[in-house]
Structure 1
Amino acid sequence: MRRRYMDAMSLVQRQQHLRTEVYKGLIDTVIGGETSASNIGKRIILPASFIGGSRDMRRRYMDAMSLVQRYGKPDIFLTMTCNPSWLEIKKHLADEDEIQNRPDLVSRVFRVKIEQLKDDLFKKNLFGEVAAYTYVIKFQKRGLSHAHFLIILKQRSKMFSPEAYDRIVSAELPDPKESPYLHSLVLKHMVHGPCGVLNPNCPCMRQNRKCRNNYPKDFSAYTKHGRNSYPIYKRRNDGKSVVIRNHTLDNRWIVPYNPYFLAKFDCHINVEICSGIEAVKYIYKYIYKGHDKVMYQISSQQTENIIDEIRNFQSARWICAPEAMWRIFAFDLTNIHPSVMTMHLHLQNH
């Protein structure tokens, strides 16, 4: 059964039933420098039952890490981004309609694509038999929906060699004569940048004037294990190149992809092999970090200095139209399999 979404008013009405005092004990409050007894225990909280809140995301992160404890590290990290130019979207637009004015249509089509992807991954077992998985639907500020999948394969389906990685992931330009359709999709969806010296104003260059995704990659004659969580994929210096935004790019700029899924879904669909365990915690925290937010300050003073997490949460969130429609349709924002049962514990002095 889908969890019901609660609005801010119902959360406010339930505050008197929540044990808010346990979030800040009396001793901790005094140590923190609070001198007014009237302020102790006054806290309006956003409970874990609110989908997408900080407590909800932390709880889901802990559930996902329990899968790692039971089944081992994830094997595949897959990201799928909505393509507003899908034919299923365009053919349902009226002559005067524009894609950005139909978030309901975009959300419905993207959910259908997600269900098709889940069917290929978890029923048809295209990557192998799946022991556990979790995925999160997220929304960018520019309005494009995307999904992050973390998949743990069963022991007999796990990949231990670079040759096994090459059967699933490619990071090279396909031959335009042998696979013209796949070649066109790689140019359309799977080329990074350009950034660096070719384009210092690229959005990925905002931090330390370096590409946050470390592009361009180095040439590699074969796939090998890397020092971080991802392997070093085969990117041969075979002379293949393309012209993107007036710059000549080669295999070093190709985002890893699966040829079958790219050809089937016609969208940006990044497939990575999790070859190591060093960044497992980072990967799970990355997909459960929450939604995009904006930074601004409300000048009005709150009465009696009461900490109101509901007001803070609503004031900081960036809600785009596709996310609003996704929630109205009550589509799943996250899922985990198998289910995790939380054991409630009462700690001393809490």
Structure 2
Amino acid sequence: MYSVEWQKRGLPHAHIFWLVEKIRPNEVDAVISAEIPNVQVDPGLHEVVIKNMIHGPCGTLNQNSPCMMDGKCSKRYPRTLISETITGNDGYPLYRRRSTADNGKSTIVKLNQQDIEIDNRWIVPYSPILSKTFKAHINVESCHSVKSIKYICKYVTKGSDMAVIGIGAENSNDEVTQYQMGAMSVVMKQFGEYFLFLFMRHPSVVHLAVHLENGQRVYFTAQNAVQRAAQPPLHINQFLRQPKR
């Protein structure tokens, strides 16, 4: 399943979910990583991760970061360094984030014209094969909690913005702002069938409630009870016409 939204940034942002086979604790590291790759082993993956998968930096390094709320990072960065992936308390694993003393890697990034050393505490979890394929920011998580069902239902049913309203000066027509606010969303909705669907579910199977034969719940109101009795469904008429044994 996937759902596309824009988050008022002008470009599409997708939430994609796979529910095929569960990932066991000893298989997480083979699918998801939260560490800086070894530049000597895989320079291509190292470049993609350094460019796209570093959070912030925020906190004491940058109080003006968009993720900061009440003096803290709303995304809980920097994360805790840990030598092995373990099960977390919120339905998500605590991914392996080795320190530089434990063979973990670090890199240098520029922030406000200053060089800052970044280690695995700042890496957003990713899938190496997806990062190398698309060379973009793709956050991949393993969720082993019932919260995953709530997460899926929330994102695929909440829909997108219906309208954008603003107050401006008389006879003002800021075409750039109008384009940034809604043009991409409108184009995707109008022409999405040609190059990108806004929502997809596969397989498109709806689970039906299980009940015994003729045991489904039927609700009557004062308005439809008389009409139902006067014009019963076809299968009831056939039943009434059968000769009594």
When normalised by structure 1's length, the TM-score is 0.50
Note closer, same or farther for the CA distance 1:202–1:289 as it changes in structure 2 (3 Å cut). farther
Contact 1:139 1:320 in 2 (8 A): no
More displaced, 322-331 or 259-268?
Answer: 322-331
CA distance in 2, matches of 1:212, 1:167: 28
Task: Give the 5 Å matches for 1:253-332.
Answer: 253-278=122-147, 280-286=149-155, 288-291=157-160, 319-331=181-193, 332=197
Of 158, 172, 177, the match for 2:22: 158
- Give CA deviations for 1:194-219 in whole Å, capped at 9, x if unaligned: 111111111111x3332111111100
Q: Does 1:335 align with 2:200?
A: yes
Once the two structures are TM-superposed, the CA of residue 238 in structure 1 deviates from its matched residue by 2.4
Number of aligned pairs?
193
Instruction: Report the structure number with the largest CA radius of gyration.
Output: 2
Note closer, same or farther for the CA distance 1:263–1:291 as it changes in structure 2 (3 Å cut). same
SS in 2 for 1:201: coil
Q: Which amino acid aligns with 2:9?
A: R
Which residue matches 2:34? Answer: 171
- Give CA deviations for 1:13-34 in whole Å, capped at 9, x if unaligned: xxxxxxxxxxxxxxxxxxxxxx
SS in 2 for 1:188: helix
Note closer, same or farther for the CA distance 1:225–1:292 as it changes in structure 2 (3 Å cut). farther
Contact 1:225 1:275 in 2 (8 A): no
Once the two structures are TM-superposed, the CA of residue 229 in structure 1 deviates from its matched residue by 1.9
Once the two structures are TM-superposed, the CA of residue 174 in structure 1 deviates from its matched residue by 0.4
Which residue matches 1:214? Answer: 76
Note closer, same or farther for the CA distance 1:177–1:224 as it changes in structure 2 (3 Å cut). same
Note closer, same or farther for the CA distance 1:218–1:269 as it changes in structure 2 (3 Å cut). same
Which residue matches 2:96? Answer: 234
Q: Which amino acid aligns with 2:75?
A: N
Contact 1:216 1:253 in 2 (8 A): yes
Contact 1:171 1:254 in 2 (8 A): yes
Higher share in helix = 1
CA RMSD of aligned residues (A): 2.8
- Give CA deviations for 1:21-54 in whole Å, capped at 9, x if unaligned: xxxxxxxxxxxxxxxxxxxxxxxxxxxxxxxxxx
Once the two structures are TM-superposed, the CA of residue 342 in structure 1 deviates from its matched residue by 8.7
Contact 2:54 2:123 in 1 (8 A): yes
Percent identity over the alignment is 40
Contact 2:10 2:181 in 1 (8 A): no
When normalised by structure 2's length, the TM-score is 0.69
SS in 1 for 2:19: strand
CA distance in 2, matches of 1:288, 1:218: 34
CA distance in 1, matches of 2:119, 2:146: 30
